[in-house]
Amino acid sequence: MTDPANYVVAYEATDRGNEAIELGVALARLTAAELRICLVLPRSSAVPAKVPAGASEFDRLLEREAHIWLETALALVPSDVVATTHLLWAESTSEGLLEAAAQFRSDRIVVGAGREGLLHRFAIGSVANALLHVSPVPVALAPRGYRAPEKISRITCAIGTRAGWESLIESMVAISDDLGVDLRFVTLVEVDAVGHRSTPDSAVHLDQVLEHFGRSSTARGAITTEVAEGRSVEAAVEVLDWRADEIAFVGSSRLAQPSTIFLGITAHRMLHVLPVPLIVVPAGEPH
Amino acid sequence: MAQTHSPSADPSGGATVTTVGGLSTKGLSAGSVGLLGATVIGISCIAPAYTLTASIGPTAAAVGTQMPGIFLVGFIPMLLVALGYRELNNAMPDAGTSFTWATRAFGPWLGWMGGWGLIVATVVVLSNLAGVAVDFLYLLLAQITGNAELAALTDNVLINITTCLVFIVAACYISYRGMETTKHVQYVLVAFQLLVLVWFSIAAFLQVANDTAFDALAFDAAWFNPFLVPSFSAFAAGVSLSIFIFWGWDVTLTMNEETKDPEHTPGRAATLTVGIIFALYILVAVAALTFSGIGAGELGLGNEEIQGNVFAALAGPIMGPFAILLSLAVLSSSAASLQSTFVGPARTMLAMGHYKAFPARFGTISPRHKSPAFATVMAGIVAWGFYAVMRALSTDVLTDTILTLGMMICFYYGVTAFACVWFFRAEAFTSMRAFLLKFLAPLVGGVILTVIFATTVIDSTNPDYGSGSNIGGVGLVFILAMVLFASGVILMLIQRRLHPEFFTGKTLTKGTSLER
């Protein structure tokens, strides 16, 4: 492909939309990609009622407002990042975003995930949730209140021992291609009350992961591994240190159809406590 | 091409956002609705189960046994206005509300009042829909539990207006979130309504045949003759109510882009819809007349106690244990209609806010749900407030709101009809088609509506009008209508004083069909 990589940013004129733009900017700076800021409007299918709803007039006013919103969005993008804005009409927001991602051949969809959860924590909104069930490209979730750092300094990859982790590694190889960013591979281990580990061979597995990664990686930053233990997935996540200018990667559940995302239980629980953006990578094609 | 923002581009440069080729078609997906779908939409807009229960009583009270005949002639002004309405819709496809059309034709003052009439009519129907839903909710609960006392809860004013609030808040919230009834649900609701209403009619006829009817009245072909109505006042009241019962039918005529065959489908669907509705209304009207008679007895259609919500009283005696189906049909019909009807006034208020005819807050759109946020909430508050006040003042809130509603619909339909005549005046005599559809039909329709409107306004001053509620010897319906109009005029003058842009023609200009 000769076109520069591009990311679809799911925009709406709310904090959530602004957070998506912030994350889009951070990722665009990391990988020199362009942003396609997309605002999806509902294709009117209002059930007609006794009083005609004046759908055409409403659509026109809505479209005018949407252009104003998109101008506001563009103003949020700093001058070192290339961004275009697009107005779409679709049956649902997630459908519109997937259409846009397909049309632009985007590498990623960036969405503000926050809802009325705790500060800086994830509670997935409906659009993000819909995307996390069907998206064929990785979905990047911005936590509440996210602001783009000057530069992302580290990428953490949470990796499990189940089949399918290779496609996550390929994603890591791709995003860190020729970059000086630090990389960290972690496994989260649930430890029960008496100290029994559910997966005793985490460290061995991480070595295997590193070896696999090293074979194809061109990354130039420091690479570390860590095994995080906790009573629960949430506790294990909180054991780890997280930098403000860090992002995390996680794979899709093994329940996912090939090439689509289906967020697993572990990843879902991670989301609740994760203080940094999370990128969910779809399951790879079956081998 | 899409707007690009790059290091080299001037960051403050005029951003023009473009839509993505091929992706972006707004409006209903073109060509998605066939004849059956359009007919279902038409019937769904009319919501026959709700409409019948709300209108049979007041109509029987006004015109007695001539009810079937009045239903037939009552359709004529609706048809005439709808023909003009379609022409306006085609000429100004980006408009779509009485407010915009009337403003383009007559300028800001009448345009404002046209929009106000539409908003008031809708807010009144919202409160009536919610009121009917409340009655049937408790009736349904009584039928399910076998505890007849539950049905009487609706007579408790506090419980009644609280339950009404719950319905309105729910409908408001669904509209605000931009959630919509799916086509599938709509099909089921319509089929269910038709089935149950036919069942109700057959059951009524069987009771008449078995001599178990309440006050059997022998069928007479003269019922279909509207000219046997005793006075012009009664005739006017009947026609005004008939306009209410067909209200919503005109939607089918204006469905163009979304139909598979825009040349023929809307016309055919409108014809089929009105055919089905005619058959159904006449069937149910005759069934109710032959079973109940028009006396003031317990189940008589002349009984003021049951007039506002006839099916609630007749369902049990006529359908026996299956009355629960009728409750379900009316409850689902009114609840669905309540929700879909919220969209109309909210969008009209939004347009009025946008053009500065209303305070700017009404023009705000929810950035998350892309719906008219403030306007929707206001519609809900006003509808509930109106209902609560009416419940306290009137002995039969539903009857009086329906009569008020008939007046309001006459008013804004009348304004729309004349707007059509005036807007197209320059091309009225250019062809036979233009003469008939853009001039004669809306003109005659508008004149009929004006006469009906004036007659009902005058008659409603009589304290016996409607439910017989009055304030100081003046009929409640009249006072209500005047308060609604006067508050419109006052709000208009306030807005003119505070934000004159709209009234000085700065936001929406007057014009004719030839100078667009």
Q: What angle do CA A93, B363, B357 make, to 5 degrees?
A: 155
Q: Hey, how many other C-beta atoms are within 10 angstroms of the C-beta on B350? A: 28
Residue A6 sits at the chain B interface (C-beta within 8 Å): no
B181 touches chain A (CB under 8 A): yes
User: Which residue in the block uniquely carries the two structure tokens 């979304």?
Assistant: B258
Q: What is the pLDDT of residue B487?
A: 94
pLDDT band at B436 (very low <50, low <70, confident <90, very high): very high
CB of A11 within 8 Å of any CB in chain B? no
**Least confident interval from A52-61, A68-77, B142-151, B413-422:** A52-61
Task: Reply yes or no on whether the pLDDT at B452 is more than 80.
Answer: yes
Domains, chain A, in order of start with CATH, read 6-142 (3.40.50.620), 154-281 (3.40.50.620)
**Tokens 């275009």 belong to residue:** A84
Q: Give the one of A52, A83, A88 whose C-beta lies nearest to B23's C-beta.
A: A88
DSSP three-state, residue B10 = coil
Q: Give the sign of the dihedral formed by CA B432, CA B433, CA B436, CA B442.
A: negative
**Residue in A42, A183, A21 with CA at minimum distance from that of residue A110:** A21
Closest by CA position to A268, among listed A280, A276, A260 = A280
The reported pLDDT for the residue numbered B17 is 41
**Structural contact between residues B463 and B470, judged by C-beta atoms closer than 8 angstroms:** yes
CA A244 to chain centre: 16
B-chain residues near A43 (CB < 8 A): 25-29
- The highest-confidence range among A190-199, A222-231, B113-122, by mean pLDDT, is B113-122
Answer whether residue B418 is part of any domain: yes
The domain containing residue B462 runs over which residues?
35-498
Q: What is the largest CA-CA distance in chain A?
A: 68
Distance of alpha carbon B14 from alpha carbon B18, whole angstroms: 12
**DSSP summary character for residue B20:** P
For residue A202, is pLDDT > 90? Answer: no
- CA-CA distance, A56 to B471, in Å (whole number)? 43
Of the partner residues B29, B125, B354, the one whose CB lies closest to the CB of residue A43: B29
- Closest-CA residue of chain B to A49: B45
- Measured between CB atoms, which of B17, B94, B337 is closest to A49? B337
- Token pair for A144: 């509440």
Please determine, for residue A151, whether its predicted confidence score (pLDDT) is greater than 60: yes
**Position B514 in a domain:** no
Q: Which pLDDT score is estimated for A200?
A: 57
Which residues 246-265 on chain B approach chain A with CB closer than 8 angstroms? 247-248, 250-251, 254-255
Q: Considering only CB atoms, which chain B residues are within 8 Å of A67?
A: 17
Instruction: Give me the pLDDT at residue B134, please.
Output: 93
Q: CB-side exposure of B69: number of CA atoms within 13 Å?
A: 19
Q: How confident is the model at residue A217 (pLDDT cuts 50, 70, 90)?
A: confident
If you ran DSSP here, which 8-state letter would residue B3 be given? E
Token pair belonging to B52: 């019948």
Mean pLDDT of B427-447: 93
Q: Per the structure, how many domains does chain B have?
A: 1
Asked whether the beta carbons of A21 and B3 are under 8 A apart, the reply is no
Q: Does residue B85 belong to any structural domain of this protein?
A: yes
Q: Let me know how long chain A is.
A: 287
Rounded Cα distance, B106 and B358, in Å = 18
Number of residue pairs across A and B with CB atoms under 8 Å? 174
Query: Taking Cα atoms as reference points, which of B43, B66, B460 lies closest to residue B233?
Result: B460
Say whether residue B8 is in contact with chain A using an 8 A CB cutoff: no
Token digits of residue B492: 């208009």
Give pLDDT, residue B515: 65
In this structure, is residue B286 part of a structural domain?
A: yes
Whether the CB of A99 is below 8 Å from some CB of chain B: the reply is yes
Q: B510 lies in a domain? A: no
CATH number assigned to the domain comprising residue B313: 1.20.1740.10
Partner-chain contact A50 B47, CB within 8 Å: yes
In the predicted model, what is the mean pLDDT of residues A275-279?
91
pLDDT for position B31? 61
- pLDDT at res. A92: 85
Assigned token pair, B69: 């005949």
pLDDT value, residue B133: 93
Q: In the structure encoding, which two tokens stand for residue A90, read together?
A: 């679709």
Q: Is A76 on the interface with B (CB under 8 A)?
A: no
Question: Band of the pLDDT at B23, cuts 50, 70, 90?
Answer: very low
In this structure, how many other beta carbons lie within 10 angstroms of the beta carbon of residue B495?
Answer: 19
Give the tens place of pLDDT for each residue, A4-46. Answer: 889 999 999 988 999 999 999 999 999 889 999 999 998 765 5
Tell me whether residues B23 and A103 touch, CB distance under 8 A: yes
pLDDT above 90: percentage of residues in chain B: 50
Tracing tokens 């009584």 back to the chain, one arrives at B142
Contact A11, A38 (CB under 8 A): yes
Residue B196 domain-assigned?
yes
* CB burial of residue B284 (10 Å; 0-12, 13-18, 19+): buried
Spatial CA neighbour of A168 closest among A144, A187, A145, A192: A187
**Average pLDDT score over residue span A101-127:** 75
Residue B330's pLDDT band, with cuts at 50, 70 and 90, is very high
Residues belonging to chain B? 516
B310, part of any domain: yes
Residue type for position A280: V
Query: Can you tell me the mean pLDDT for A215-243?
Result: 85
Q: Measure in Å the smallest separation between the Cα of B310 and chain A Cα atoms.
A: 21
Query: A47, A65, A71, A89: which to substitute to probe chain B, counting the most B Cβ within 10 Å?
Result: A47
**Does residue B6 form part of some domain?**
no
Beta carbons within 10 angstroms of residue A141's beta carbon: 30
User: Which residues in chain B are closer than 8 Å to A61, comparing Cβ atoms?
Assistant: 350-351, 354, 363, 365
Chain A: closest CA distance from residue B52 (Å): 14
Digit-coded pLDDT (tens) for B241-255 = 999 999 988 888 777
Residue B362 confidence (pLDDT): 93
Instruction: Write out B283-301 in H/E/C secondary structure.
Output: HHHHHHHHHHCCCCCCCCC
3-state secondary structure string, chain A?
Answer: CCCCCEEEEECCCCHHHHHHHHHHHHHHHHHCCEEEEEEEEECCCCCCCCCCCCHHHHHHHHHHHHHHHHHHHHHHCCCCCCEEEEEEEECCHHHHHHHHHHHCCCCEEEEECCCCCCCCCCCCCHHHHHHHHHCCCCEEEECCCCCCCCCCCEEEEECCCCCCHHHHHHHHHHHCCCCCCEEEEEEEEEECCCCCECCCCHHHHHHHHHHHHHHHCCCCCCEEEEEEEECCHHHHHHHCCCCCCEEEEEECCCCCCCCCCCCCHHHHHHHHHCCCCEEEECCCCCC
CB of A49 within 8 Å of a chain B CB? The answer is yes
Element (H, E) at B186: helix B183-209
Q: A9 φ, ψ to 5°?
A: -105, 120
Query: To 5 degrees, how large is the angle CA A135–CA A141–CA A146?
Result: 160
pLDDT at site A7: 95
User: Quick check: B17 and A89 CB within 8 A?
Assistant: no
Q: Is residue B88 scored above 90 in pLDDT? A: no
Q: Is the model's pLDDT at B303 over the cut of 50?
A: yes
Write out the DSSP string of B380-403.
Answer: HHHHHHHHHHHHHH-SSHHHHHHH
Q: Which of B17, B340, B350 is facing A85, going by the closest CB pair? A: B17
What is the interface pTM, i.e. ipTM, of the complex?
0.81
User: Distance (Å) from the C-alpha of residue B93 to the closest C-alpha of chain A?
Assistant: 7
Q: Is B459 on the interface with A (CB under 8 A)?
A: no
Using the beta-carbon criterion (under 8 Å), do A54 and B348 form an inter-chain contact? yes
Q: Residue B256 is encoded by which pair of tokens?
A: 């163009």
User: How far is Cα B179 from Cα A45, in angstroms, rounded to an integer?
Assistant: 10
**pLDDT tens, position by position, A63-113:** 899 999 999 999 999 999 999 999 998 888 899 999 999 999 999 999 987
Cα gap B48→B33, rounded to integer Å: 21
